Structure 1
Amino acid sequence: MDNITALGGDVYEIDTRMAGYSGITAGYLILGDRPCLVETGTSTSAPVVRDALTSLGVGPGDLATVVVTHIHLDHAGGVGDIAGFYPDAEIVVHEKGARHIADPSRLMASARMVWGDRLDTLFGELSPTDASRIRALGDTGAVDLGNGRTLSSHYSPGHAKHHVGLIDSATGDLYVGDAAGVYLPQTGDLRPATPPPDFDLATALDSIDLFRALGPQRLLFSHYGPVTEVQETLERSAEELRVWVDLTRQAHAEGMDLDHAVAMVRERTRERYAALKADEATAEKFELLSGAPSNVAGIMHWLDRAQP
């Protein structure tokens, strides 16, 4: 299948084809003794992910574990559907997200407030997962991949209060979710993901420091793909956060409303990203992945709490 890329170490990147786009959200299959899916993508992507797993030889009774880095709908919206396709798989999530996987009603209501009618085309509906199948992680935890191989989870809030990073003992791959921002392989651009309501600068920078300290061999971005320049990329993640926060703080101090703040930050960061100078489709994809309105709104929300 053209949406599967072998990354070595029995790891396969699956393009979940979110909202019909390619290269927006990746799921990863670790095909060890106990096959593990990291990130499900959206609910509407679940059949795409299932077909990819089938083509890799993983049948309904074979998937041992599904892990999500956090419960935002582009990462975990398909959990309920995937749990249905793979009745023996354990669903692993941070304890702060577990109840929303069991009962998604509040999560879906707030998502609908943010996205309105676009919710259905972008994400679809997160279906509930039987609570008995969910394993809630604390600050650290481990997933057994079989044959002594483990996926260790490390609590990494800042982007979301239910976010974990995951490191594979066999490959040194670190699944960074959204905590290191979003990466666009076509242009090598990296930009922060700071949506409301959980963004917090100090916590986000601490999570990047934690990722550095784990000494990964490779970063696997949910958006999108593998990066081997580990330390340089994490350095840049922190720098991007500081740039966006400094500019938004300036707008906030000048009393700008959200629209004016977004326009100012967009204007002053434009030169940082090759994607925005590329063709329209690439620019549109980058905005969908890490939209300036969502990023600035998240930082403004944090500033309002931090400096009322």
Structure 2
Amino acid sequence: MDNITALGGDVYEIDTRMAGYSGITAGYLILGDRPCLVETGTSTSAPVVRDALTSLGVGPGDLATVVVTHIHLDHAGGVGDIAGFYPEAEIVVHEKGARHLADPSRLMASARMVWGDKLDTLFGELSPTEASRIRALGDTGAIDLGNGRTLNSHYSPGHAKHHVGLIDSGTGDLYVGDAAGVYLPQTGDLRPATPPPDFDLQIALDSIGLFQALGPQRLLFSHYGPVTDVDETLGRSAEELRVWVDLTRQAHSEGMDLDHAVAMVKERTQERYAALRADDATAEQFELLSGAPSNVAGILHWLNRVQP
């Protein structure tokens, strides 16, 4: 299948084809003794993920674990569907996200407020998962991949209060979710993901510092793909956060409303990203992954909390 890439170490990247796009959201299958799916993608892409797992030889009774870095719908919207396809799989999530997977009604209501009619085409509907199948992680936890190999979780809020990073003891791969921002492999661009309501600059920088301290061999971005230049990339993640926060803080201190703040930040950061000078499709893809309106709104929300 053309949406599966072998990354070595029995790890397979699956393009979930979110909303019909390529290269937007990745799921990852760790195909050890106890196969583990990291990130499900959206509800609408769950059949795509199932087909990929089938082609890799993982049948309905074979998947041992499904783990999500956090419960935003592009990462975990497919959990309920995937849980239905794989009745033996344990569903693993940080404790601050667990109740929303069991009862997604509040999460879906707030997502509909943000996305409106676009919700159905972009994400679809997160279906509930039986609470008895959900394992809630604390600040750290371990997922058994079989043969002494573990996937170790580390609480890394800042992007979202239910976010974890996951490091594979066998490969040194670190699944960064959205805590290190979004990466566009076509252009090498990296920019932050700072949506409301949870963004907090210091906590986000601390999470990146934690990732550096874990000493990973490779970063696996949910958006999108593997990066081997770990130190340089995490350094850029922190720098990008500071740039966006400094510009938004300036807009905030000048009393700009959201629309004017977004326009100013977009204009001042334009030159940083080759994707925005590329073809329209690449620019659109980048904006969908890490939209300036969402990023600036999240930073303003935080600024209003810390310096109203």
Structure 1 length as normaliser, TM-score? 1.00
Q: Which runs of 5+ in 2 are unaligned?
A: none
CA offsets 1:59-91 (integer angstroms, 9 cap, x no match): 000000000000000000000000000000000
CA offsets 1:96-145 (integer angstroms, 9 cap, x no match): 00000000000000000000000000000000000000000000000000
What CA RMSD, in Å, does the superposition of the two structures yield over aligned residues?
0.2
Other-structure match for 1:120: 120
What CA distance in whole angstroms lies between the structure 2 residues aligned with 1:288 and 1:152? Answer: 30
What CA distance in whole angstroms lies between the structure 1 residues aligned with 2:113 and 2:305? Answer: 21
* Helix, strand or coil at the partner of 2:294: helix
CA offsets 1:206-237 (integer angstroms, 9 cap, x no match): 00000000000000000000000000000000
CA offsets 1:280-305 (integer angstroms, 9 cap, x no match): 00000000000000000000000000
Q: Give % identity.
A: 93
* Helix, strand or coil at the partner of 2:63: coil
Give the superposition deviation at 1:30.
0.0
User: How many matched pairs?
Assistant: 308
What CA distance in whole angstroms lies between the structure 1 residues aligned with 2:230 and 2:42? Answer: 27
* Helix, strand or coil at the partner of 1:51: helix
Give the superposition deviation at 1:34.
0.0
Other-structure match for 2:278: 278
* Equivalence map 1:253-268=2 (5 Å): 253-268=253-268
* Helix, strand or coil at the partner of 2:284: helix
Q: Which 4+ residue blocks in structure 1 deviate beyond 2 angstroms?
A: none
CA offsets 1:214-268 (integer angstroms, 9 cap, x no match): 0000000000000000000000000000000000000000000000000000000
What CA distance in whole angstroms lies between the structure 1 residues aligned with 2:72 and 2:286? Answer: 18
Give the superposition deviation at 1:161.
0.1
What CA distance in whole angstroms lies between the structure 1 residues aligned with 2:71 and 2:246? Answer: 28
CA offsets 1:147-198 (integer angstroms, 9 cap, x no match): 0000000000000000000000000000000000000000000000000000
What CA distance in whole angstroms lies between the structure 1 residues aligned with 2:198 and 2:123? Answer: 20
What CA distance in whole angstroms lies between the structure 1 residues aligned with 2:129 and 2:302? Answer: 31
* Helix, strand or coil at the partner of 1:237: helix
Other-structure match for 2:132: 132
What CA distance in whole angstroms lies between the structure 2 residues aligned with 1:77 and 1:302? Answer: 25
CA offsets 1:11-42 (integer angstroms, 9 cap, x no match): 00000000000000000000000000000000
* Equivalence map 1:24-43=2 (5 Å): 24-43=24-43
Give the superposition deviation at 1:275.
0.1
Structure 2 length as normaliser, TM-score? 1.00
* Helix, strand or coil at the partner of 2:142: strand
* Helix, strand or coil at the partner of 2:112: helix
Other-structure match for 1:75: 75
What CA distance in whole angstroms lies between the structure 1 residues aligned with 2:79 and 2:280? Answer: 32
Other-structure match for 1:197: 197
* Helix, strand or coil at the partner of 1:194: coil
